[in-house]
Amino acid sequence: MLTIYLLGLGILWIVYDHLLLSPLSKIPGPPLACATRLVLMYYEFTRRRRRWIHQLHVKYGPVVRIAPDEVSFANWDAVKEIYVSDGSGYDKTSFYHLFDNYEHECMFSTLDKTPHGERRKRFSDRYSKSFIMQAEVMDGIRERAEGFVARCTEKAGVAADIYILLHCYAIDCITRHLYDPQGMRSLTEAADLMTVKELLFTDNFRESYFQYYFPDLSRLLSRVFSPANRLRLLAARTLNATRRSDISNHTVLSKFKSSSEQLETKSIASELLDHAIAGIDTAGDGLCFLLHHLSLPASASIQEALRAELTEKEGTPIDGLPYLDAVVKEGLRCFSPVPMSLPRRVPKGGRTIAGAYVPEDTIVSCQAYTLHRLNADVFPDPEEFRPERWLKKEYVLERNHLFFAFSTGGRGCIGKHLAMLEMKMLLKEVYSTCRTHISPEMTASMEQLDEFITTRPIDQKCLIVFEKVI
């Protein structure tokens, strides 16, 4: 009885400390979540973190406490402070070690900003816009976009499952950029298609969160059980490519190999594998949500406006097509493939963020899903798909500030120019020659299913009919 009594007192003291004595006690949030992280963990393990946090912002405003030591923000002042200030914002949390590969860090999983910056410099030129727009890079993407259209139109009137084919397109593009000619050709090669399906349909979601919260127990259990590894085939492919010497000059791997300071093979492979996975998630899932929406009956006028621009401005450089750019940006706003929180740790001494004092070591974050919806002045009718909003001069600066599909600052997505080009090239090839509509057989849900920081269609299927117009 005494043990139970003491345990009860201990719990009451923890709750009292978290709710009343904590420096975060003045920040609004649900009391139970402020008292114990178990609430946040519940929403994470049940894949509802993103929507739960968004509803908290709708209720409490742009600053919300979501755990005893964690705060979520949803305005530009916070984005600027957390992700842009002091060079590359605040350091990452241990959450990012989930993205280590071959037991080696990559740029994305490097926690401290200084070694991150040093690693990024090794290959950042391969992702600059000027490099991406070179003919050698663009021609490879165009070839794969044409291959996608060919697959979708090979049987007239028969629906194509674009969920699979778009991820094939994305992985074929990114692996060519990483280690051509060893890159994948999953749009045409059956063995490579198997690799894509392993990536798409193997789910390690809960195992990875368990690893984050209970690392020691997770390591112990992994010795007894052998959970499915969604990266198995791609990881082997990437490691083998890293060991090759016959690599094209335009690739990221070529840049690593030409460096005067050589990294060990698994360290390079960890970087390349991370880029490959990121490339699949951004372009593949983003395009799937976007093409599905454009194929709805309500979007017929958007298709026609896009086709009109592509026809009237045939031969115009792809960056000179404003409506195409607006369609892609609106797709990334509405269906951001990385909609989740991107956690950071407050530096020593604490900081004031968006008017709220936050002590050191507190976890802070913003999520694209909420930044793209909460401010009705910048994004009126935020649930409506309106490409035209990106063509208006009013609030243009604010729109670009709150556009968080690729994060921002020194640790923002290095591959954003490549991803944007892949998306634009694919839409250009599709809507220059085709109309698309939802197949009558399409009953799968396109609701967004949360992963760690990414999202994908809940039923992982999307049947679209491609109708040739020329």
Instruction: Please say whether the beta carbons of 466 and 436 come within 8 A.
Output: yes
The verdict on whether residue 434 carries a ligand-binding annotation is no
Evaluate if residue 105 carries a pLDDT over 90. yes
Evaluate if residue 226 carries a pLDDT over 70. no
pLDDT at site 214: 87
16 lies in some domain = no
Within a 13 Å sphere around the CA of 79, how many CA atoms are in the beta-carbon half? Answer: 22
Q: Give the pair of three-digit tokens for residue 263.
A: 């990294």
Instruction: Please say whether the beta carbons of 43 and 7 come within 8 A.
Output: no
Q: How far apart are CA 437 and CA 293, in angstroms?
A: 9
What is the per-residue pLDDT across 131-174, written as a single tens digit (0 to 9) for each? Answer: 999 999 999 999 999 999 999 999 988 999 999 999 999 999 99
171 lies in some domain = yes
12 lies in some domain = no
Evaluate if residue 89 carries a pLDDT over 80. no
Confidence of residue 228 (pLDDT cuts 50, 70, 90): low
What is the per-residue pLDDT across 203-218, written as a single tens digit (0 to 9) for each? Answer: 778 888 888 888 888 7
The H or E element that residue 358 is part of is strand 356-358
Interstrand relation of 70-73 and 363-366 (parallel, antiparallel or unpaired): parallel
Q: Is the peptide bond before 181 cis (omega within 30 degrees of 0)?
A: yes
Instruction: Please say whether the beta carbons of 423 and 286 come within 8 A.
Output: yes
Evaluate if residue 67 carries a pLDDT over 70. yes
Q: How far apart are CA 231 and CA 277, in angstroms?
A: 9
| C-alpha pair distances (Å), 141 with each of 37, 237, 280, 284 | 44, 20, 14, 13
7 lies in some domain = no
Alpha helices in 17-63 (DSSP H): 31-35, 38-45, 49-60
Q: What's 401's domain CATH number?
A: 1.10.630.10
pLDDT at site 202: 79
Structural domain count of the chain? 1
Beta bridge partners of 464: 160, 438
Confidence of residue 21 (pLDDT cuts 50, 70, 90): low
Residue 287: which region, alpha, beta or left (left: phi > 0; alpha: psi -120 to 50)?
Answer: alpha
10 lies in some domain = no
Q: Give the pair of three-digit tokens for residue 295.
A: 């194929």
| C-alpha pair distances (Å), 396 with each of 207, 390, 393 | 42, 7, 5
- List of residues 6+ apart from 61 with CB closer than 8 A: 28
| Residue numbers of the domain that contains 383 | 22-468
214 lies in some domain = yes
264 lies in some domain = yes
Greater confidence, 92 or 2? 92
Confidence of residue 79 (pLDDT cuts 50, 70, 90): very high
Q: Give the pair of three-digit tokens for residue 95.
A: 């959450």
pLDDT at site 1: 59
Q: Quote the mean pLDDT of the chain.
A: 91
The H or E element that residue 290 is part of is helix 286-294
Count the Cβ atoms, other than its own, within 10 Å of residue 418. 25
6 lies in some domain = no
Q: How far apart are CA 217 and CA 10, in angstroms?
A: 25
What is the per-residue pLDDT across 386-402, written as a single tens digit (0 to 9) for each? Answer: 999 999 999 999 999 99
Evaluate if residue 7 carries a pLDDT over 80. no
